[in-house]
Structure 1
Amino acid sequence: MAYCGYCDRHFQAWGSLQQHLEKKRPQAYCSRCQKVFSSPFAKQQHVADSNKHHVCEKCPEEESDFDSKDDLIEHLETDHNYCTYCERAFNGPVQLTQHNTVKHNICIDCRRYFNSTSDLKNHLKTHAEKTSQCPGCSQMFVSESAMVLHLEAGTCESGATSDFVTATALTYFRPGKYTCNGDSGLGFKCRTCGATFSFVSAVLQHAESDSCNEHLAGRRPLGRFLRHLRAQFR
């Protein structure tokens, strides 16, 4: 049998006692933790110190307590356009989104944060429209490097392999331009910055990133190589 020591009353069920405390001592009773405190101040101190309470200081007290930190952060961002990292409020959701994208490398589709702009850019490819078609099987990919990696991995129904892609590249590029000399085991390099790679797909991914000024557009050698590679399947 449940008992209220403040009123010297017994209750048949714990739920009845809880309702009684919420009605008679609302300022000193914590319904979430089911505890009665000696004073409203003691309850406030409990809420401030407990990891079961996450309070929004911008809202009225009765609406401000959330079950988890994630719920509080979502509330601050949604209702107050507030960046919890910078502790700064914005005029609207558009301004907050722009700030998060530029300053914190956030993906606005899945709300994930990334360590760098390059990491975010690579992640955004998972949401991107697939525009690169494999010449061997017509499967679509989000980037040229992903398409070539598919060929190198031997997953294309055409039977293409890493050896095929490598041989095509070695016969297309002039010695020393995108190919390495020596026994390093790294067969390819970026002509612009000198970074070395084991696979053609890695060179292409490097060119698609913001790592250096190399790119695939126009009549750049890597762009012409991709057209040459596709021609091998005709």
Structure 2
Amino acid sequence: MYYCDPCDRYFNSDNSYNQHVENSSAHRNFEPSDDGYYSSNAEPEFECSGCDSWFWSSVARENHHISQHGHRYCTPCKRMFMNENNLMQHQHSKVHQGFPMKCPFCPTQYTTASALIIHLESGRCPSGSNRERINAAIRHLDKNHVITTPLMEYSSPSFTNIATERSWNGLCYECSMCHRGFNTLQGLNGHLRSPVHDQRMYRCPGPSCGREFIVLSGLVQHVESESCGVMRFANVQKSASGGIDKMVRKMIGS
């Protein structure tokens, strides 16, 4: 068996493994070393919510969640729980009994508040909502920095870093910030539009936690796990059903 550590996948043959490394976008920035493994100076972007592992793609992280944390991970909700008992309670809750979270701007429905926020952050909602607009709204609501970090400055919502053909280094399109390589200019620009290089403007309000997050959906997923006792999962969903601003106001106590 051949194992790809960045992707957490096994392959039956050397040929299938090599094809994976050659064709997978997760390996565009990798070079073979003398021991047959692949290495890079770039940093993986996707953190496991159940342990300290990091992965080069969301697919690899999802595979890891299922294979290593399946006893406490809800695949439909993409949500990690503290233990198997909490997962079982969740699976018998209203979330899995036909009570979806509806987007207030379009017909789409989601199983959790965090999934709805991911939809709004993505920019795919017809409302025009996106990550920058949500961040600006939360900064306006959270003037006392209960769930936001008091950073000196925030990037302008109107600023977009767009790469050109000048990013080609002879082998790949290289990100000037993390030096990760991409096979296409479109792939590099998708990377630049993602939140990977954004500041960590959100933090858990739990008194003994202080964990920081780049996007609101990351913070809400953390709160939904009930690991810090900030809010019960059901309360997050109930408050979010009245609007994301209502949920945020409840989190910051205003």
- TM-score, normalised via structure 2 length: 0.38
Relative contact order (alpha carbons < 8 A, sep ≥ 6): 1 or 2 greater?
2
Q: Point out the structure with max Rg over C-alpha.
A: 1
